[in-house]
Amino acid sequence: MQHEYQYFPITVPGKGAGGQTGTWRFVRPVVNLNKCIGCRACWMFCPEATIHVIDGKVEVDYDYCKGCGICANVCPVKAILMEGEDQ
Amino acid sequence: MRKVMSANEAVANAVKLARVGVVGIYPITPQTTVIEKLAEMKAEGEIDADIVRVESEHAAMGVTLGAGAAGVRSFTATGSQGLLYMHEMVWWASGSRVPLVMMVGTRAVGAPWNIWNENTDFMSERDSGWIMAFASNPQEAFDLVLQGFRISEDERVFLPMMVGMDGFILTHMKTNVYLPSQEEVDAFLPPRRQPYVIDPEAPIGMGNIFPPVEYMKLRHSIHSAIQSAESVIKEIGKDYEKISPFNNYRTLNVKYRMEDADYALVLMGAWAGDAMEAIDELREKGINIGMLRIRYLRPWAESEIKELENVKGILVMDRATSLGRGGPLYLEVKATVRNQVKGVVTGLGGVLLNKEDFKRIILKFLKEAKEERSDGVEWYYPAEVEKVELRNPKDVE
Amino acid sequence: MLNDTSLMSGTSACPGCPENIAMRMLSMALGKDVALVVIAGCSSVTQGLAPKNAYGYASLNIAFAAGPPAASGMWRAYKRRNRDVTVVVWAGDGGTSDIGFASLSGAAERNEDFIYLCVDNEAYMNTGGHRSGSTPHGALTPTTPEGKSGNKKEIPFIMIDHNIPYVATASVGYPHDFIDKVREAKTIRGFKYVHVLTPDPYGWLFDPSRTAEVAKLAVQTCYWPLFKWKDGRIEVSPESLHCLKKETRRPLKDFLSIQGRFKKIDEKGIEDLERYIDELWERISLNLKR
Ligand SMILES: Cc1ncc(C[n+]2csc(CCOP(=O)(O)OP(=O)(O)O)c2C)c(N)n1
Ligand code: SF4
Ligand code: SF4
Ligand code: SF4
């Protein structure tokens, strides 16, 4: 902006607007790719958009995954297990 | 073109000439004839703006702000209860930094009900981060609304602007009004500019949480923008002379017989007319008094007000109150100059003053000033208050 | 293949947030060219802190009651600028059924051309889970520690009575139904009202891993009906067809017992709720017969 005092309340889309939310996690989703049938239910319900299905393979973005466990809960073949972060 | 019209009609004409795209409307006396006129213009194809007949003033500002944020010039009008009802959105508008213009037809606020003029509604928004002008005749109402779009959309400002006018006394007052042509206005008022547009083309967000220091910086920015508006308003006022015969917009506020004045009367709005008549008569009796009419409450042109320090005594008349304290204008002036300042609160709820009342108030003030006790606030009731005929509210509309 | 663009990871929402789930599904339905109006509520916070924003959509945050008016101004502005943009008001149940109701009703009466999306977690969650007009009978909240007395306001029916072109209910437990309805809404001119149930682990008191499960149970037990209203008729969604007959409904207790907020409800309270559900479905059946 031309006038240095001008400052507007606008923001841009970006990851981590709420911080490095992966640090909130007590338990982490671990995907057993051998069991996974690629149905994308985990992707569909993840509230954090931290599940990515790349070439049919499920990947979790642990930088931001909050460990809510929804993905494990909705997986029809129980391919996701929630494991303690201290393990 | 010159045409006899009321201030409200003049405002509608300014909105038309500014090629406003969206107008949010909700009726309240004494603003109604503005929105009726705009609706009529729309029905007759004179304007192509979207007239959105909303369910409240909160919504009227919502529509106006939404349209502005999405890139279209927008306008609304209200007053009194409506302005108070809108209060949350008044702040949201300035906080959003979306340029837009609002007319405020001032009126007393309840309880109890009273539909007559008083400026307390307008004054109660003075901290809200808007550019705030106050007209004193239909021509000025037109000029300020039209200039308002350019001021509001200036990149050094980028703030909403409200233009106040005394309910009935000005809103319904008819005089000759000079209207520039559409071509002239198009040359004066460039296409809309604004700090950002909410549009999927560039998906920004407006108004999610700003942490403390950033929030404070945003407030600071509004503060600076209001102060910077002072020179912008003068510049635009001068440029306005290209399309208008009036050359009195080179300053924010308006002086009357101040060159050699020993005393100054400070006020705002339509009653300046009666005050000037009173001053003329007192001058004939050798009393050297002048007047400073406040046309902009925000920005508060500190240097213009500070000139009052050259006079022997200052009298500020408010048609508004900060209850328990005094008139808002009085408090502003007092905070600006080193002199003694006397405040008079009067004219509330439609109480009418005539020239004689002004003379009486001024003479009393002069006496006190000579004794160096012209300080503090007085509530003045016209001597003939019992003779003031309160009109039936139904007749007024 | 569905895609989502509306939510950037690392939001400020609680783990398991149903509103985030709904936000992602919204973009699976609408894709690009969307402008959001976000009123006060959890979503004003979950977008995170400046200079970033967790929403991928152009979005205008606005005061509680000003969502529908702002959207009214926006869609008109886009039309005037020849921009093809779907405007969506994103509002909580409190903002919808209480403080923002007049402005919702006003915009519906004017038949403004945008989608109003109510994310219903049945409480003022942002302030701490206080009761709203959408909180069900018997639910414990910090302002109804004895359990709320009185039923949920039936906003979808009230919106039907506004004679707008489209009203639909959905649940985040049934994404495809929800997405289809939002997509359909986009094709219709005028006011579209979509009300999605978003069970909230922190207000309803269940484990956050079960958000989707509870959202399904609400539908299976017929507590929450899935339907759409179009062309003057209700059409019950396949997921809810079993609710039309009382015998085929899953017992309400399956839904209640999974949540802590109903832990103080007594038999009478449960009967009240069951009666409410019976009447809800009677109303739907009556419209079907019309
Ligand atoms: C005028 C006004 N009153 C009160 C508030 C405080 N407030 C902010 S969010 C909120 C609750 C929102 O509840 P709801 O609409 O159900 O949305 P949720 O938070 O559940 O998503 C309240 C009461 C406010 N922002 N504005
Ligand atoms: S645990 Fe929750 S946040 Fe993490 S990937 Fe699974 S659903 Fe997403
Ligand atoms: S839900 Fe389970 S099976 Fe389906 S994609 Fe995810 S991990 Fe694989
Ligand atoms: S309270 Fe509920 S809706 Fe609000 S952020 Fe948390 S999980 Fe989401």
Per the structure, how many domains does chain B have?
Answer: 2
Whether the Cβ atoms of residue B265 and residue B362 lie closer than 8 Å to each other: yes
Report the alpha-carbon distance of residue C182 to residue C119 in Å, rounded: 13
Domains and CATH numbers, chain A: 1-87 (3.30.70.20)
Which ligand lies nearest the alpha carbon of A69? 2
C42: left (phi over 0), alpha (psi -120 to 50) or beta: alpha
Q: How many residues does chain C have?
A: 290
* Chain C residues closer than 8 Å to B68 by CB: 73, 77
The whole-angstrom separation of Cα B100 and Cα B163 is 11
Contact B105/B97 with Cβ under 8 angstroms? no
Give the mutation target among A42, A54, A65 for probing the ligand 3 site: most ligand atoms within 8 A of CB: A42
| CA C20 – CA A17 distance, rounded (Å) | 14
Does residue B153 fall inside a structural domain? yes
B213 and B329, same domain (yes or no): no
Distance from CA of B219 to the nearest CA of C (A): 15
**Residue B73 shares a structural domain with residue B218:** yes
Can you say how many angstroms the Cα of residue C14 is from the centroid of all Cα atoms in its chain? 18
Q: Tell me the chain A residues in contact with residue B197 when contact means C-beta distances shorter than 8 Å.
A: none
Q: Are A26 and A82 in contact (CB under 8 A)?
A: no
Q: Left, alpha or beta for B360 (phi > 0: left; psi -120 to 50: alpha)?
A: alpha
Q: Do B48 and B125 lie in a common domain?
A: yes
Q: Is the dihedral of CA C99, C105, C107, C113 positive or negative?
A: positive
What's the domain count of chain C?
1
Residue B51 CB-density burial (10 A; 0-12 exposed, 13-18 middle, 19+ buried):
middle
What's the token pair of residue C161?
Answer: 């009575």
Give 10-residue mean pLDDT values along chain B (397 residues).
96 98 97 97 97 98 98 98 98 98 98 97 98 98 98 98 97 97 98 98 97 98 98 98 96 98 98 97 96 98 97 97 96 96 97 96 95 91 61 46
pLDDT of residue B374: 85
Those residues whose C-beta lies under 8 Å from the C-beta of residue B257, and which sit 6 or more positions away, are B279, B283, B289, B290, B291
Question: Which residue is associated with the tokens 């959890």?
Answer: C42
B46 in Cβ contact with B5 (< 8 Å):
no
Looking at the CA of residue A53, tell me the nearest atom of ligand 3.
Answer: 5
Ligand that lies nearest to the alpha carbon of residue A65, given by its number in the listed order: 2
- Bridge partners of residue C224, in order along the sequence: none
Contact A9 B210 (CB under 8 A): yes
Which range marks the domain in which residue B102 is found?
A: 2-191+209-240
Cβ of C124 less than 6 Å from ligand 1: yes
B35 CA to middle of ligand 1, Å?
32
- Cα-based angle A40, C91, C156 (whole degrees, multiple of 5): 90
Inside any domain, residue B124: yes
CA-nearest residue to A47 within chain C is C21
CATH number at residue B169: 3.40.50.970
CB C125 near ligand 4, within 6 Å: yes
Strands (E), B101-160: 101-106, 131-134
To 5 degrees, how large is the angle CA B160–CA B163–CA B165? Answer: 160
CATH code where residue B307 lies: 3.40.50.920
Q: Is B190 on the interface with A (CB under 8 A)?
A: no
Do B165 and B270 form a contact (C-beta atoms < 8 A)?
yes
Q: A60 in ligand 2 pocket by Cβ < 6 Å?
A: yes
**In terms of domains, do B168 and B51 share one?**
yes
Whether residue B200 and residue C72 make contact (CB cut-off 8 A), yes or no, is: no
Return the ligand 2 atom nearest residue A72 CA: 6
Tokens encoding C270: 């449960």
Whether B23 and B137 share a structural domain: yes
Ligand 1 touching residue C129 (CB < 6 A): no
Q: Looking at the domain assignment, is residue B16 inside a domain?
A: yes
B35 and B116 belong to one structural domain: yes
Q: In this structure, is residue C267 part of a structural domain?
A: yes
Tens digits of per-residue pLDDT, A52-76?
A: 999 889 999 999 999 999 999 999 9
**Is B248 contained in some domain?**
no
Which pLDDT value is given to residue B91? 98
Say if C161 falls within a structural domain. Answer: yes
C244-265: pLDDT as tens digits = 999 999 999 999 999 999 999 9
Residue with tokens 């943009």: C85
Question: What distances in angstroms separate CA C64 from CA B127, B291, C43, C56, one per listed residue?
Answer: 21, 44, 12, 21
> How many helices and strands in chain A, by DSSP H and E?
2, 5
Q: How many CB pairs under 8 A join B and C?
A: 171
Asked if A9 reaches chain B (Cβ–Cβ under 8 Å), the answer is yes
Q: Are strands B50-53 and A27-31 parallel, antiparallel or unpaired?
A: unpaired
Torsion of Cα atoms, B115 then B117 then B118 then B123, to 10°: 90
Is residue C9 a part of any domain in this protein? Answer: no
pLDDT in tens, C269-284: 999 999 999 999 999 9
- Contact C8/A17, CB-based, under 8 Å? yes
**CATH number of the domain enclosing C113:** 3.40.50.970
- B97 and A8 within 8 Å at the Cβ level: the answer is yes
Calculate ∠ Cα B173-B174-B180, nearest 5°.
Answer: 120
Same domain, B222 and B158: yes
Give yes or no: residues B294 and B231 share one domain.
no
CB contact under 8 A, B221 and A6: yes
**Span from the CA of C216 to the centroid of ligand 1 (angstroms):** 26
Q: Which residues of C touch A24 (CB under 8 A)?
A: 15
What is the ipTM score, two decimals? 0.96
Pocket flag, ligand 4, residue C93 (CB < 6 Å): no
What is residue A87's predicted lDDT score, i.e. its pLDDT? 60
Q: Are A85 and C32 in contact (CB under 8 A)?
A: no
For residue B357, tell me if it sits in a domain: yes
Do B158 and B135 belong to one domain? yes
Which runs of consecutive H residues, i.e. helices, occur in C87-210?
A: 93-97, 101-109, 155-160, 175-187
CB-based contact, A76 to chain C, within 8 Å: no
Neighbours of B156 (CB within 10 A): 17
DSSP H or E run through B357: helix B355-370
Closest in A2, A6, A12 to B225, CB measured: A6
Query: What residues in C contact B22, CB-CB < 8 Å?
Result: 73, 76-77, 80
pLDDT score for C289: 79
Best residue among A65, A74, A82 to mutate for probing ligand 2, ranked by most atoms within 8 Å of CB: A65
CB B141 within 8 A of CB B170: yes
Whether residue B236 sits in one domain with residue B271: no
Cβ atoms within 10 Å of B199's Cβ, excluding its own: 20
Q: Is residue B393 part of a domain?
A: no
C-beta atoms surrounding C215 within 10 Å? 25
Helix (H, G, I), strand (E, B) or coil at C219: helix
Of the candidates A64, A52, A51, which has an alpha carbon nearest to the alpha carbon of residue A17? A64
CB C203 within 8 Å of CB C229: no
Residue A1: how many CB atoms within 10 A of its CB?
A: 11
Average pLDDT for runs of 10 along chain C of length 290: 91 98 98 97 98 98 98 98 98 98 98 98 97 98 96 97 97 98 98 98 98 98 98 96 97 97 96 97 88
Q: What confidence score (pLDDT) does residue B384 get?
A: 60
* Structural domain range at position C164: 18-286
Rounded-to-integer distance, Cα B202 and Cα C194, Å: 26
C62 SS3 class: strand
